[in-house]
Chain A
Amino acid sequence: MRWLREKAVLIFACLVVLYMLVPIFVIAVFSFNDPAGRFNFTWQGFTTEHWGNAFGIPELTDALLTSIELAAASTVISTILGTMIAMALVRYEFRGRKATNLLIVIPITSPEVVIGAALLSLFVYAQVATGFVTLLIAHVMFSISFVVIVVRSRLIGFDRRLEEAARDLGADARTTFGTVTLPLIAPGLGAAAFLAFALSLDDFVISNFNSGTTVTFPLYIFGAAQRGIPVEVNVLATMLFLVTLVAMGVTVWQQRKAEKLAAVRPDEDADTGFPAAKEPAATPGSAA
């Protein structure tokens, strides 16, 4: 009885996790389905044919490629811009800190419908035709805030004395940055970039408003959902899921490695006389 009560929370947690995974499981299972008609609702037989033909629908593949290109471009730009802001916020004093915080936070807390609609209003007013470029602008816009938050939390846990040590050894600001700072915050940047990529790849609402005739992967799915989603979509979605899972695993593993590097090891203290450093706690925010 006591055992049940103690474990109750854990059991409940596992149930919730299972609940979260059910649709994923369904999607993956149905990627092996062999439907007779256009619809993939009832199980009609196992086949790996669609996995073999995953890129067989040109429109779908084009949409996926467009999404990937868009996500890549958006990631690069937003990671650079966001990291710059994060560095300024953590390491420097300046006026307008509150305004900056506000400007970063409000887009995250605005519903996507409003952001998408507002951007469309801008483009309508400026008579700019919507398409890939407007999509890129939109995606960078909503990614910047997330990048700032992730990189910020990494920078806060960063041990500045390493940089000091480098400077004491004679390195100038640029070398310090290039050989000490950047490699150590790289996992944080990686996590932020990964998040920006995922957000862009998955975005539907804002893209729906600003895409014009460009078709991204989620937009293709929305259109296809009207008349029956082909099995290849399940296949690609499952593939994406697995790829991102692996990528996430690699990112977190690298992060762990970098954390170990960034903290001064306890047994060195006896030699150098530096006070022992705490192991920085694993920051889950950077994995999300």
Chain B
Amino acid sequence: MRRTSQTARLIGAILGLIACATLAAGCSDLGAGGLEGPTQTAEASGGKASGDLAISNWPAYIDKETIPNFEQKTGISVDYTEDVNDNNEFFSKLQPTLAERDSAGRSIFVVTDWMAKKMHDLGYLQNFDKNAIPEVNKNMIPTLQHPSFDPERQFSAPWQAGMTGLVVNTAEAPDVTSINDLFEDPDLAGKVTVLSEMRDSIPLIMKADGIENPEDASEEDWLAAIDKLSGAIESGQIVGITGNSYINDMARGDVVAAIGWSGDAIQLQADNPDIKFVMPDEGCIIWADNMVIPVGAPNPDAAYAWMNYIYDPKNQAPIAAYNNYTTPVTGVKEIFEKSDPALAKSELIFPSEEYQKNCSTQPDPPRLQTANIEKAFEALRTGG
């Protein structure tokens, strides 16, 4: 019958085309992988910085005055985009462009330590021209000057540092002091979330299980912690693995205790004064978000001007006061002692050694098994 043969021909044609496309696809290499060659240095031109500066940063990380003040002082026009919600997501978005040596117009990204390292290893970053950033060199606090992933601070400069611990609605959940409470307290069931930042959530779970230094944890330790988390999700104890959105859930009252970031607790207090950052009994995870200059950055001079501006304690003070994260700049404490003594005493902005005695720096999983571990963790997010 005519109709059947017409349909059959149609289907045959479509299959044929798919076959061709498949073969064509088979000959490509999907353009993945890093860039070859040594890391370039973004040379400062030596003249006055000018023009446009495009920055990608995490949301709610800067106060409202800094950018206008910077623009007024330097004449540089700043295009500030808050599109980093998760290191992996941001990396995924930028990777194809970066592989073409194009930074999508940005001259500065702000990414967490391990992502800075990953980007550097793939050749997507440029080294700093250290002569162009005297303020940074001078004013960086000592504890951040020589991190293991970038000992000479050649390609990263901390924007803010912070702590991952417990963010708790102390009115609804007064007894939460340890990560294990999140797992074991039946009153909290259905109202707990953890972070999708694997290098925050899993090390904390491991610490709560007795592994004091997550840097030394083995693949089994990581996978065991992931398994424990998986059990809690299946049982409904934990109801979310989130990026920034846990803040939304806490403000609405759907979540009463979460693994979260120190500064967020203060920002939530405007909506609910009962929400506090609680240092877990077993300690917190310390990390920093770093300014990096990507390959193909259109205006490194402006980037250096920005970094120098940020590392001047006078300019850093309002930023620190706004977001309540650990400031990487010396001299800010003295400024607060005169202007806002309560802030000068904040353990979140100026954490003492005593406060952080049990804390660990954010670790990377064992290098050879990283892909495996990341895959196991990612499966949790989609309930697999």
Tell me if B244 and A98 are in contact (CB < 8 A): no
A285 near B: Cβ within 8 Å? no
Which residues of chain A come closer than 8 Å to B82, judged between CB atoms? 59, 223
Interface string of A14-25 (1 = CB under 8 A from B): 000000000000
Which of B6, B10, B28, B252 lies in contact with A39, CB distance below 8 A? B252
CA distance A214 to B68 in the complex (A): 24
Task: Please indicate which of the listed interface residues A35, A123, A213 has the most CB atoms of chain B within 10 Å of its own CB.
Answer: A213
* Residue B307 lies at the interface, judged by CB distance under 8 Å to chain A: no
Q: Which one of A124-132, A180-188, A237-245 contacts B? A: A124-132
Given contacts A226-B244, A227-B248, 17 further A-B contacts (CB under 8 A): A35-B271, A37-B267, A37-B271, A38-B60, A38-B251, A39-B252, A39-B271, A125-B25, A125-B28, A127-B96, A127-B100, A212-B93, A212-B104, A213-B106, A215-B83, A226-B242, A228-B247
Our pick among B10, B96, B245, B268 for the contact of A226 (Cβ within 8 Å) is B245
Please, which residues of chain B bring their CB within 8 A of the CB of A98?
6-7, 10
Instruction: For A227, give its contact among B7, B94, B100, B247 (CB under 8 Å).
Output: B247
* B23 close to A (CB within 8 Å): no
Cβ < 8 Å to A, chain B residues 300-320: none
B243: interface (CB < 8 Å) = yes
Q: Given A99-B10, A227-B59, are A59 and B81 neighbors across the interface (CB < 8 Å)?
A: yes
Contacts of A226 in B (CB 8 A): 59, 85, 242-245, 247-248
**22 A–B pairs (Cβ distance < 8 Å), ordered by A:** A36-B270, A36-B271, A37-B251, A37-B267, A38-B251, A38-B267, A41-B251, A59-B82, A123-B96, A125-B25, A125-B30, A127-B100, A129-B102, A212-B97, A213-B97, A213-B105, A215-B81, A223-B59, A223-B82, A226-B248, A227-B60, A227-B245
Given the contacts A125-B25, A223-B59, A227-B244, A102 and B10 also touching, CB distance less than 8 Å: yes
Q: Which residues of A contact B80 (CB under 8 A)?
A: 59
Residues of A contacting B247 in the complex (Cβ-Cβ under 8 angstroms): 226-228
Tell me how far the C-beta of B324 lies from the nearest C-beta in chain A, rounded to whole angstroms: 14
C-beta contact mask, B30-54 vs A, less than 8 Å → 1, else 0?
Answer: 1100000000000000000000000
Tell me whether A223 and B83 are in contact (CB under 8 A): yes
Distance between Cα atoms of A224 and B56 in the complex (Å): 15
Q: Is the CB of A127 within 8 A of B94?
A: no
Which residues does chain A contribute within 8 Å of B6, judged by CB atoms? Answer: 98
Please tell me if the beta carbons of A225 and B245 are within 8 angstroms of each other in the complex: yes
On chain A, the residues within 8 Å of B7 by CB distance are: 98
The docked-state distance in angstroms from the alpha carbon of A226 to that of B252 is 12
Complex alpha-carbon distance, A39 and B254, angstroms: 14
Query: B243 to chain A: which residues have CB within 8 Å?
Result: 226
Complex contact B251–A212 (CB within 8 A): no
Residues on B with C-beta less than 8 A from A125 are 25, 28, 30-31
How many chain B residues sit at the interface, stated as a range, is 35 or more
Residues in chain B near residue A215, CB distance under 8 A:
81, 83
A to B contact number (C-beta, < 8 Å): 85
Closest to B31 in A: A127
Interface residues of B in 216-251 (CB under 8 A from A): 242-245, 247-248, 251
Q: How far is the CB of A288 from chain B (nearest CB, A)?
A: 29
Cβ distance A138 to chain B, nearest Cβ, rounded Å: 16
The CA of A74 and the CA of B212, in the complex, are separated in Å by 56
Interface residues of B in 123-158 (CB under 8 A from A): none
Within 8 A of B (CB), among A111-162: 123-125, 127, 129-131
**Chain B contacts with A in 58-106, Cβ cutoff 8 A:** 59-60, 80-83, 85, 93-94, 96-97, 100, 102, 104-106
For the complex of A and B, list the 7 residue pairs with the smallest distance between their C-beta atoms, beginning with the closest.
A37-B270, A37-B271, A226-B244, A226-B245, A39-B251, A213-B104, A127-B31
Q: Is the CB–CB distance between A225 and B248 below 8 Å?
A: yes
**CB under 8 Å from chain A, chain B span 241-293:** 242-245, 247-248, 251-252, 267-268, 270-271
CA distance A282 to B59 in the complex (A): 49
Q: Are A212 and B96 in contact (CB under 8 A)?
A: yes
CB distance from B256 to the nearest CB of A (A): 15
Residues of B within 8 A of A41 (CB): 251-252, 271
Which A-chain residue is minimally distant from B98 (CB atoms)? A129
**CB–CB B85/A223 < 8 A:** yes
Q: B85 — which chain A residues lie within 8 A by C-beta?
A: 223, 226
Closest residue of chain A to B94, judged by CB?
A: A213
Question: Which residue of chain A is the closest to B271 with respect to CB atoms?
Answer: A37
Docked CA distance A41–B249 (Å): 11
Instruction: Give A215 to B6 CA distance when docked, in angstroms.
Output: 44
Closest to B9 in A: A99
The chain A residue sitting closest to B90, CB to CB, is A213
Shortest Cβ distance from residue B244 to the other chain A in the assembled complex, whole angstroms: 4
Could you tell me the distance in whole angstroms from the C-beta of A273 to the nearest C-beta in chain B?
Answer: 43
* List of A residues within 8 angstroms of B28 by Cβ: 125
The residues of B that contact A127 with a CB separation of less than 8 Å are 31, 96, 100
Contact status of A228 and B100, CB under 8 A, knowing A38-B60, A39-B271, A215-B81: no
